[in-house]
Chain A
Amino acid sequence: MSVPLLSARNLHKAYGALQVTDDLSLEIIEGELQAIIGPNGAGKTTLIAQLSGQLRPDSGQIAYEGRDITRLKMHERVRLGMARSFQITSILPGFTMLENVAMAVQARSGSSFRFFGSAARERALNEAAMAALAEVGLEDRAHRIAGPMSHGEHRQLEIAIALATKPRLLLLDEPLAGTGGEEAEHLVALFRRLKSRLTLVLIEHDMQAVFALADRISVLVYGRIIASGSPDEIRRDPAVRAAYLGEEVA
């Protein structure tokens, strides 16, 4: 079997007495979309934070293409090709939509220790940023200040920012949270397109979207993965139904 793109082994993370990640192991195969579901407080966001490098696990290893990256910081992992979105919108509110994305393009194209020349006029940055905005359908709002835009637009913008870093692996932390009908459909369609060229990890509460998109689903409860398998297997798994799914997807 080939090396998984990302793997976590025996991760532990505790906040005081509370074990939020409890001996968790996980493999993300290149090209698949793996969804991680679980009730609130299961430790999903903490897991993403550890995978992306925002938090350091108390023990355990994380490897990317077989290379140990446990001690790499978030910005170092981004350079390896990992990108993420945040559960709570994280953008540069005072920048325009285009500038938000151009910033991400700038991060991977050449040195940023350039003290002269207007970054706003760098054609290469703006064109790549525009392309990422077009990908998520925001190109017509590129020059609006990002802060006051709607929640749905912020979610789209976050995806565009992540895409602009040209990732191989994209970690999405509840990208659909707070978005309504049409916006959600739009994002689901986008993820379906991205699936063909990126490896995706999706944390999501919207079960309809999860079962429509995922190649594999892992169920996280109290910091442990209690089941992992294809959507059909998960749907049939009695332990999962008891712990979490209930009648929701019956």
Chain B
Amino acid sequence: MRVKNADPAAIVPPRVAVRTWVAIALFTAFALVPVLAGWLDDPFLLVTATRIVVFALAAMALDLILGYGAMVSFGHAAYLGIGAYAVAILSSYGITDLGLHLLAALVVSAIFAAITGGISLRTRGVYFIMITLAFGQMAYFFFVSLSGFGGDDGLTLRQRSTVFGQPLLENDLALFYIALGFLVALFGFSAALVRSRFGRVLTGTRENRIRMQAIGFSPFPYQLTAFVISGCMTSVAGVLLANQSEFVSPAFMNWHRSGELIVMVVLGGIGNLTGAIGGAIIALLLEDWLAVLTQHWRLFFGLFLVLVVLYAPGGMTGLIRRIMGRAP
């Protein structure tokens, strides 16, 4: 055997490094936001930052299946809603513990994802998009019909989740850092996941499904598992979102919300986790900024989306690559 590379087993793919550094830079910047808010004496900055962190988490979860698994789920807002309603419904029965809220959110999401994913994943392409959208809408109508929990109007939380009996999250700063902690931890989890054996099967299936079958893989169980993991992660974002806004409503799971999550992932650049976080920052800041300028901000946001698709394919990651002179 003429192996030129002395130790083939020692190879680490170099493609990971840059993104991880960008992610670390973003996390550091997030961690410093409270300091900035203190200097500027702008408490609203912290609220905005918390929202961004929460949606970054949801977008990253979506990227796990959309970017790495080529599964364009258009119903992911359902999991945000499941997480949010886990907080609201349990709290209304006097169960306020964050751990239990998370547990309930994870269990319900896992079941919902396993059932709807199991059906959706029998199809691909346009079908998959439409079916996930339809299931998302089904979840939406389900929560609309829960008249005991506010129905269409939603319901205001009496208090935020408690941690070991302590009303820790009532402090906005604590909530922000806990949300950021979840984002960083789940980023680490996702980054490990995509590099693992499992992640490789997922990416391999995205690249060429038939090829994967021809070497002995059945894509379905891997895709379904990824779908469930992604749904569960999104529901964690939902739990945090309910705490941040102290209010839940079916509007959390409207199909526009699912669309916005896709927007975030694509704006940042799909299939690298960091991009989804960047995309959430861009999308939410742009929304806030446009909303200050005009009440018809959706018109301009929509225009922005169309222009990005037509003239900046690959989102921010693609743009950066083109600027740096690399093929997208």
On whether A and B touch (CB less than 8 Å), the answer reads: yes
Flag whether A214 is at the interface (Cβ < 8 A). Answer: no
Q: Given B10, B197, B210, B214, which contacts A114 in the complex, CB threshold below 8 Å?
A: B197
Among A78, A120, A130, A142, chain B packs the most CB atoms within 10 A around the CB of A120
Chain B proximity of A210: nearest CB distance (Å) = 23
Q: Are B208 and A92 in contact (CB under 8 A)?
A: yes
A57-86 Cβ-contact flags toward B at 8 Å (1 or 0)? 000000000000000011110110001101
Q: Are A126 and B200 in contact (CB under 8 A)?
A: no
Q: Are B2 and A139 in contact (CB under 8 A)?
A: yes
Q: Are B215 and A113 in contact (CB under 8 A)?
A: no
Which residues 91-123 of A sit at the B interface, judged by CB distance below 8 A?
Answer: 91-96, 98-99, 103-104, 106-108, 111-123
Instruction: Report A-chain residues with C-beta under 8 Å of the C-beta of B199.
Output: 115, 119
Instruction: Report B-chain residues with C-beta under 8 Å of the C-beta of A54.
Output: 210, 213-214
Flag whether B201 is at the interface (Cβ < 8 A). Answer: yes
Instruction: Report A-chain residues with C-beta under 8 Å of the C-beta of B10.
Output: 121
Please list 11 pairs of residues, one from A and one from B, whose beta carbons are closer than 8 Å in the complex, sorted by A's number.
Answer: A54-B214, A73-B213, A74-B213, A93-B207, A104-B215, A113-B198, A119-B199, A131-B1, A134-B1, A139-B3, A143-B5
Flag whether B211 is at the interface (Cβ < 8 A). Answer: yes
Q: Are B216 and A108 in contact (CB under 8 A)?
A: yes
B191-209 Cβ-contact flags toward A at 8 Å (1 or 0)? 0110111111101100110
Q: Are B216 and A165 in contact (CB under 8 A)?
A: yes
Instruction: Report B-chain residues with C-beta under 8 Å of the C-beta of A83.
Output: 214-215
Q: Are A142 and B5 in contact (CB under 8 A)?
A: yes
A120-B214 CB under 8 A given contacts A95-B204, A103-B200, A113-B225: no
Q: Are A127 and B213 in contact (CB under 8 A)?
A: no
Q: Measured between alpha carbons, how far is A161 from B103 in the docked complex, in Å?
A: 42
Q: Identify the closest chain A residue to B210 (Cβ).
A: A90
Flag whether B11 is at the interface (Cβ < 8 A). Answer: yes
Instruction: Report B-chain residues with C-beta under 8 Å of the C-beta of A75.
Output: 212-218
Instruction: Report A-chain residues with C-beta under 8 Å of the C-beta of B208.
Output: 90-93
Q: Given A86, A112, A143, which contacts B197 in the complex, CB threshold below 8 Å?
A: A112
Q: Are A121 and B9 in contact (CB under 8 A)?
A: yes
Flag whether B8 is at the interface (Cβ < 8 A). Answer: yes
Q: Given B4, B203, B225, which contacts A139 in the complex, CB threshold below 8 Å?
A: B4
Q: Measured between alpha carbons, how far is A26 from B225 in the docked complex, in Å?
A: 40
Residue positions of A touching B, CB distance < 8 A:
52, 54, 73-76, 78-79, 83-84, 86, 90-96, 98-99, 103-104, 106-108, 111-124, 126-127, 129-131, 134, 139-140, 142-143, 161-162, 164-165
Closest 5 CB pairs of A and B: A123-B9, A78-B216, A107-B216, A92-B207, A104-B215
Chain A proximity of B202: nearest CB distance (Å) = 10
Q: Given B9, B200, B204, B214, which contacts A127 in the complex, CB threshold below 8 Å?
A: B9
Chain A proximity of B220: nearest CB distance (Å) = 10
Q: Measured between alpha carbons, how far is A76 from B214 in the docked complex, in Å?
A: 9
Q: Measured between alpha carbons, how far is A78 from B216 in the docked complex, in Å?
A: 5
Flag whether B12 is at the interface (Cβ < 8 A). Answer: yes
Flag whether B13 is at the interface (Cβ < 8 A). Answer: yes
Among B1, B208, B210, B214, chain A packs the most CB atoms within 10 A around the CB of B214
Q: Are B214 and A90 in contact (CB under 8 A)?
A: yes
Flag whether B177 is at the interface (Cβ < 8 A). Answer: no
Chain B proximity of A141: nearest CB distance (Å) = 10
Q: Are B8 and A142 in contact (CB under 8 A)?
A: yes
A126-B9 CB under 8 A given contacts A93-B207, A112-B198, A115-B196: yes
Flag whether B27 is at the interface (Cβ < 8 A). Answer: no
Q: Measured between alpha carbons, how far is A93 from B211 in the docked complex, in Å?
A: 11
Q: Measured between alpha carbons, how far is A74 from B211 in the docked complex, in Å?
A: 10
Q: Are A126 and B213 in contact (CB under 8 A)?
A: no
Chain B proximity of A214: nearest CB distance (Å) = 23
Chain B proximity of A59: nearest CB distance (Å) = 23
Q: Measured between alpha carbons, how far is A114 from B197 in the docked complex, in Å?
A: 6
A140-B216 CB under 8 A given contacts A119-B200, A121-B9: no
Q: Given A78, A134, A165, which contacts B3 in the complex, CB threshold below 8 Å?
A: A134
Instruction: Report B-chain residues with C-beta under 8 Å of the C-beta of A76.
Output: 218
B1-36 Cβ-contact flags toward A at 8 Å (1 or 0)? 111110011111100000000000000000000000
Instruction: Report B-chain residues with C-beta under 8 Å of the C-beta of A124.
Output: 9
Flag whether B297 is at the interface (Cβ < 8 A). Answer: no
Q: Measured between alpha carbons, how far is A120 from B2 in the docked complex, in Å?
A: 21
Q: Are B201 and A112 in contact (CB under 8 A)?
A: yes
Q: Are A119 and B196 in contact (CB under 8 A)?
A: yes
Flag whether B222 is at the interface (Cβ < 8 A). Answer: yes
Q: Identify the closest chain A residue to B206 (Cβ).
A: A94
Q: Are B12 and A134 in contact (CB under 8 A)?
A: no
Instruction: Report B-chain residues with C-beta under 8 Å of the C-beta of A90.
Output: 208, 210-211, 214
Instruction: Report B-chain residues with C-beta under 8 Å of the C-beta of A114.
Output: 196-198
Q: Are A52 and B214 in contact (CB under 8 A)?
A: yes
Q: Measured between alpha carbons, how far is A124 from B3 in the docked complex, in Å?
A: 15
Instruction: Report B-chain residues with C-beta under 8 Å of the C-beta of A78.
Output: 213-216
Q: Measured between alpha carbons, how far is A142 from B5 in the docked complex, in Å?
A: 9
Q: Measured between alpha carbons, how far is A52 from B195 in the docked complex, in Å?
A: 30
Q: Are B3 and A79 in contact (CB under 8 A)?
A: no
Q: Given B3, B195, B217, B225, which contacts A119 in the complex, CB threshold below 8 Å?
A: B195
Other than the given A93-B208, A131-B1, A139-B1, 20 more pairs (CB < 8 A) read A52-B214, A54-B214, A83-B214, A86-B210, A92-B211, A94-B203, A103-B200, A106-B200, A112-B197, A112-B222, A115-B193, A115-B198, A116-B192, A117-B192, A120-B12, A121-B9, A127-B8, A139-B3, A139-B4, A142-B8
